[in-house]
Amino acid sequence: MPYSFVAIEKEKTHTIAVLLVILVVMYFFTCWGAWLIVKNAAVLQATRGEGFRFLGISLPEVVVVFLIAMIAGVVHYAYSTSRLIPRLLALLKAEPLDTHSRTHQQLQNIIDEVCVAAGGLCIQGCVVRSAACNAFSLSDGKENSYIGVTEGLLLRLNRAQLESVIGHEAAHIAMGDTVIYTVSTSLFGMYEGAMSGLRESCSGGRSLRGRGGGFWFPGGLALGFIMCMHGLNRFIMASVAQEKEFRADAVAVKLTRNPLALAESLYIVSQFWHGQKESQRGLESLFFADPAVEEETVFSSHPPLSERLGILLAMAHADEPALEAALARVRPRIRQAKRHARASRRVRRKTDGQAWSVLEEGRWKGPFVLSELQGLKWFTASHKVRREGAPAVKPAYEDHVLRSLFASAANEKEASFSCPHCYQGLSPRYYEGEQIHVCPSCKGVLCGRSRLDTILIREEASFSPETVELAHHIKDECEQRFKEIRALKTPFILPCPQCGKKMRRKLLSRAAPVEVDLCIWCDLVWLDRGELELVQVLYDEREDKDSFLA
Amino acid sequence: MGWLIFLALVIMLAAWGIGTYNAIIWKKNSTDNAWAQIDVQLKRRHDVIPNLVETAKGYMGHERETLEKVIQARTQATQATAVKEKESAENFLTSTLRSLFAVVEQYPDLKANQNMLRLQEELTSTENRIAFARQYYNDEVMRFNTYIEQVPAVFLAQMFGFGKKDLFQVESLEEKKAPQVKF
């Protein structure tokens, strides 16, 4: 096996030492150059150009320069590697797995399974709430290893395919590649941002010299240094990463014994968007597929996907057309299949209807006084009621007197949340694999803001034609009169089911102009009946999905 | 001069002997560790089963026999100690679980039960873990067996009495037979 722990430990220590030495050497030559220039500039200033002779560096000066380089290198290393993993996780917008989500539970299980296959690795899972299709691994070599997966990937891969992707990332961790990538990214990757900043300023026609006047000299030196670091990072990544991707694929197959699943995952990933180019600049090597390029070349951090796919398909004794056909067969249009079931449920709901005289099973019962109603075991907020002497028939939860009855009942049951409209206890339910709380009477939905993003990314539920049509109307109207619609908002109406403070009523976003109630303290969203589906339809039809989530 | 060469040869031989012996011990311990990992995963499976049976019981009043079989198989599996004995007990448990899930298919309410769904995912994951732990154990056993049968380690292995280790095979004899297709 190529992944014995002793070998990993040795390689890890060795690689980190090499990286530190490279860093010190870089600083040494930079300091050497700076010292030489400053020294000669000072002499030139003193002699005013008369009899100027270029001065070299004496041995004691070399020692001083070396000491400075050592200190700079060590400080840089210590700074870059302190809180390494939390910083990178924050940069990648990765979040811990949600224990209430079935999909996340499954992901954690798959990670644990792969750890067993690798002979007892210890890896934690995290997730990025993005529609992109990608995965990454992080490791600081001190027992902190993470595998992160985007929600988009979770949605599109089945269990075996996901297992193969996790196997690939676990192989990187087991072989020690992730430590190199993580430390190297942290040491040299910070210059990537500076480099792109420089590129932008240069393309904007502004030079360092022109802007700063007297600062041209340190500016030029910094530019040289940044370019060296940038080049070094590219060189390290290009020299090690491509070959290691092939090795990781091989080890993943050895772990899962399923080359076809890995080939399928690569194919699916190649068909979808890999991630945002700008936010992940300098972090490409950490990913399953390079997010910075549409198509990999021999110069990118990853080998071309087609090449990896070809090797895996040969291992599985399959070819690409057969793979495409197999994937088309196993991914049916779930939404269309579920549409009929949803429509029939809707009709059944309409025939429901019960009643101060209470309409029970098609017959008016009562009239009951409040205390009698409280004693009726079968009476719920969704029963239709008619106040004696008043002709209007309405659901019990719309009657302000009966509301208090349900509110106290919800408290007695110790329901975790109660509906802000009808004061019924909300019942937890799974929707698109995520836990939400639904009011049994008014069918309103309460969910966390971040959980709403996850629900939007998933595509298990289906929608009725009416919902789709309504969403189109909203979209059209919003495009014409967004400002007017936004001005119509009515702030602070409903109380938050968790903290009781008034929620802010607002449009969810410009892309989803659906009025929802947001609790800014608890980060919860209340959506009235049907609004969640509307937002989902609007999200599905949007091309620029990540800006929708933002 | 002669005795110096002899001494050098003896030292080299001793160094080789120590190195090879240590490598054998290292590989042997790796296989033992891999075996222990299977045990951990089997224990996990045994822990999930009572919850599963408890959840199913409420819905499957008429299938008492199937449930009892699962419980009986679990008890047998927890009591088995030797590799071969464990193999057959676990195989029996797997077959009873299969029949349980076949019966669960007939109960839509039970299939949709959140607790049942969670337990099914838990059991699927556990089965996968057992399979992976077995795979890792078999890989380690293969490395060990290959090493102690190769020259020159074979001499030391025979001298210290290191024998071949058994692979963990799960398929029953019936499953190994090629399926017969009749028209």
When CB atoms are compared, the residue of B37, B117, B122 closest to A116 is B37
Nearest-CA residue of chain B relative to A435?
B114
Query: Given CB atoms, is B25 within the 8 Å cutoff of chain A?
Result: no
Confidence class for position A406, pLDDT limits 50, 70, 90: low
Res. B38: pLDDT tops 80: yes
- Give the DSSP H/E element, type plus range, for residue A524: strand A524-527
Q: How far is B132 from chain A (nearest CA, A)?
A: 5
Confidence class for position A372, pLDDT limits 50, 70, 90: low
Lowest model confidence (mean pLDDT) among A322-336, A514-528, B51-65, B122-136:
A322-336
Lowest model confidence (mean pLDDT) among A189-203, A328-342, B117-131:
A328-342
Taking CB atoms and an 8 Å limit, are B125 and A255 in contact across chains? no
Instruction: List CB contacts (< 8 A) between B136 and chain A.
Output: 116-119
Confidence class for position A337, pLDDT limits 50, 70, 90: very low
Q: How many CB pairs under 8 A join A and B?
A: 43
Res. A172: pLDDT tops 60: yes
Nearest-CA residue of chain B relative to A167?
B132
Confidence class for position A202, pLDDT limits 50, 70, 90: low
Q: Which two tokens stand for residue B55?
A: 């959840």
In a shared domain, residues A439 and A530:
yes
Q: Which two tokens stand for residue A251?
A: 């080890």
d(CA A84, CA A78): 10
CB B38 within 8 A of CB B137: yes
In a shared domain, residues A480 and A528:
yes
Instruction: List CB contacts (< 8 A) between A113 and chain B.
Output: 125, 128-129, 132
Mean pLDDT of chain B: 84
Taking CB atoms and an 8 Å limit, are A109 and B125 in contact across chains? yes
In a shared domain, residues A166 and A39:
no
pLDDT given at position A199 = 57
pLDDT given at position A238 = 66
Which of residues A312 and A211 earns the better pLDDT score? A312
In a domain, B35, yes or no: yes
In a domain, B120, yes or no: yes
A447-455 average pLDDT score: 83
Of B32, B83, B84, B142, nearest to A254 (Cα)? B142
Nearest-CA residue of chain B relative to A118?
B136
**A432 phi and psi angles, rounded to 5 deg:** 55, 35
Res. A413: pLDDT tops 70: no
pLDDT given at position A335 = 40
Res. A209: pLDDT tops 50: no
% of chain B beyond a pLDDT of 90? 26
Among the residues of A282-435, which ranges form H helices? 305-315, 320-330, 334-351, 370-375, 400-413
Lowest model confidence (mean pLDDT) among A27-36, A238-247, B48-57:
A238-247
d(CA A305, CA A266): 7
pLDDT given at position B7 = 94
Q: What is the domain count for chain B? A: 1
Res. B146: pLDDT tops 60: yes
A50-92 per-position pLDDT tens digit: 777 777 778 888 898 899 988 988 888 888 777 888 888 888 8
Q: Strand ranges (DSSP E) for A59-144?
A: 94-96, 124-128, 135-139
In a shared domain, residues A28 and A128:
no
Q: How many CB atoms neighbour CB A212 within 10 A?
A: 12
B79-84 average pLDDT score: 78
A98-113 average pLDDT score: 89
In a domain, A194, yes or no: no
Taking CB atoms and an 8 Å limit, are B129 and A118 in contact across chains? no
With both helix axes pointing from N to C terminus, report the angle between A59-81 and A5-47 in degrees, rounded to the nearest 10: 130
Cβ neighbours of residue A209 closer than 8 Å, sequence gap 6 or more: A216, A219, A220
Lowest model confidence (mean pLDDT) among A322-336, A495-509, B11-25:
A322-336
- Please report where in the chains the tokens 């990933």 appear, as a residue: A269
Res. A334: pLDDT tops 50: no
A280-309 average pLDDT score: 72
Q: What does DSSP assign to residue B121? A: H
% of chain A beyond a pLDDT of 90? 7
pLDDT given at position A237 = 64
In a domain, A205, yes or no: no
- 3-state DSSP assignment of residue A205: coil
- CATH code for the domain in which residue B120 is found: 1.20.1440.20
In a domain, B10, yes or no: no
d(CA A480, CA A490): 21
% of chain B beyond a pLDDT of 70? 92
When CB atoms are compared, the residue of A102, A113, A430 closest to B132 is A113
Instruction: List CB contacts (< 8 A) between B121 and chain A.
Output: 102, 105-106, 109
Res. B141: pLDDT tops 60: yes
In a domain, A107, yes or no: yes
In a shared domain, residues A504 and A443:
yes
Nearest-CA residue of chain A relative to B134?
A117
Taking CB atoms and an 8 Å limit, are A1 and B132 in contact across chains? no
CA B1 from centroid of its chain's CA atoms: 56
Query: Given CB atoms, is B29 within the 8 Å cutoff of chain A?
Result: no
d(CA A110, CA A252): 13
Q: How far is A256 from chain B (nearest CA, A)?
A: 8
pLDDT given at position A206 = 42
Query: Given CB atoms, is B21 within the 8 Å cutoff of chain A?
Result: no
Instruction: List CB contacts (< 8 A) between B133 and chain A.
Output: 116-117
Which of residues A278 and A159 earns the better pLDDT score? A159
User: What would the DSSP string read from start to end of A406-449?
Assistant: HHHHHHHHT-S-B-TTT-PBPEEEEETTEEEEE-TTT--EEEEH
Q: How far is B102 from chain A (nearest CA, A)?
A: 21
B7-25 average pLDDT score: 93
Q: How far is A527 from chain B (nearest CA, A)?
A: 24
Query: Given CB atoms, is B136 within the 8 Å cutoff of chain A?
Result: yes
Among the residues of chain B, which ranges form H helices? 2-57, 64-79, 83-104, 108-112, 114-149, 153-160, 173-176
Residue type for B101, please? F
Range of the domain at A492: 427-549
Taking CB atoms and an 8 Å limit, are B125 and A116 in contact across chains? no
When CB atoms are compared, the residue of A102, A105, A117 closest to B132 is A117
Instruction: List CB contacts (< 8 A) between A102 and chain B.
Output: 117-118, 121
Res. A165: pLDDT tops 90: yes
In a domain, A438, yes or no: yes
Taking CB atoms and an 8 Å limit, are B125 and A113 in contact across chains? yes
Residue ending a domain, choose from A369, A389, A412: A412
Query: Given CB atoms, is B133 within the 8 Å cutoff of chain A?
Result: yes
Taking CB atoms and an 8 Å limit, are A116 and B136 in contact across chains? yes
In a domain, B81, yes or no: yes
Res. A148: pLDDT tops 90: yes
* CA-to-CA dists, residue B67 to A38, A125, A299, B8, B122, angstroms: 85, 35, 60, 70, 18
Which of B132, B135, B137, B168 best probes binding to A when mutated, by most A CB atoms within 10 angstroms? B132
d(CA A218, CA A231): 20
Lowest model confidence (mean pLDDT) among A34-48, A245-259, A475-489:
A475-489
CB A270 within 8 A of CB A305: yes
A508-519 average pLDDT score: 79
Taking CB atoms and an 8 Å limit, are A116 and B132 in contact across chains? yes
In a shared domain, residues A378 and A452:
no
Residue ending a domain, choose from A285, A306, A331: A331
Taking CB atoms and an 8 Å limit, are A113 and B136 in contact across chains? no
In a shared domain, residues A306 and A340:
no
pLDDT given at position A343 = 44
Res. A201: pLDDT tops 60: no
Q: How far is A116 from chain B (nearest CA, A)?
A: 6
Residue type for A365, please? K
Taking CB atoms and an 8 Å limit, are B129 and A255 in contact across chains? no
Confidence class for position A344, pLDDT limits 50, 70, 90: very low
Taking CB atoms and an 8 Å limit, are B133 and A116 in contact across chains? yes
A460-512 per-position pLDDT tens digit: 777 777 778 788 877 777 777 666 666 665 655 778 887 777 788 777 777 77
In a shared domain, residues A286 and A434:
no
Q: How far is B136 from chain A (nearest CA, A)?
A: 6
In a domain, B75, yes or no: yes
- 3-state DSSP assignment of residue A120: coil
Confidence class for position B82, pLDDT limits 50, 70, 90: confident
In a domain, B68, yes or no: yes
Lowest model confidence (mean pLDDT) among A432-441, B26-35, B122-131:
A432-441
- Please report where in the chains the tokens 């040491």 appear, as a residue: A187
Burial B85-95 (b: 16+ CB within 10 A, else e): ebbebbbbbbe
Confidence class for position A440, pLDDT limits 50, 70, 90: confident
Of A424, A439, A426, A445, nearest to A533 (Cα)? A445
In a shared domain, residues A534 and A449:
yes
A348-368 per-position pLDDT tens digit: 444 344 447 787 777 777 777
Query: Given CB atoms, is B43 within the 8 Å cutoff of chain A?
Result: no
Of A503, A506, A485, A508, nearest to A493 (Cα)? A503
Which of residues B65 and B149 earns the better pLDDT score? B149
Taking CB atoms and an 8 Å limit, are A102 and B117 in contact across chains? yes
Lowest model confidence (mean pLDDT) among A19-28, A376-385, B42-51:
A376-385
pLDDT given at position A102 = 82
In a domain, B45, yes or no: yes
Range of the domain at B81: 15-176
Which of residues A70 and B106 earns the better pLDDT score? A70
In a domain, A48, yes or no: yes
Taking CB atoms and an 8 Å limit, are A1 and B143 in contact across chains? yes
Mean pLDDT of chain A: 75
Taking CB atoms and an 8 Å limit, are B37 and A430 in contact across chains? no
Instruction: List CB contacts (< 8 A) between B114 and chain A.
Output: 430
Which of residues A99 and A423 earns the better pLDDT score? A99
In a domain, B20, yes or no: yes
In a shared domain, residues A161 and A270:
yes
A123-131 average pLDDT score: 88
pLDDT given at position A124 = 92
Q: How far is B164 from chain A (nearest CA, A)?
A: 19
Q: How far is A460 from chain B (nearest CA, A)?
A: 16
Which of residues B116 and B34 earns the better pLDDT score? B34
B85-97 average pLDDT score: 84
In a domain, A186, yes or no: no
A257-269 average pLDDT score: 89
Which of residues A98 and A353 earns the better pLDDT score? A98
pLDDT given at position A447 = 87
Q: What is the domain count for chain A? A: 4
Res. A407: pLDDT tops 70: no
When CB atoms are compared, the residue of A109, A117, A430 closest to B135 is A117
Q: HSE of A541 in the Cβ direction (CA atoms, 13 Å)?
A: 17
- Please report where in the chains the tokens 């990538």 appear, as a residue: A181
In a shared domain, residues A439 and A500:
yes
Q: What does DSSP assign to residue A2? A: -
Residue ending a domain, choose from A42, A57, A78: A78
Res. B114: pLDDT tops 80: no
In a shared domain, residues A249 and A262:
yes
Lowest model confidence (mean pLDDT) among A142-151, A338-347, A539-548:
A338-347
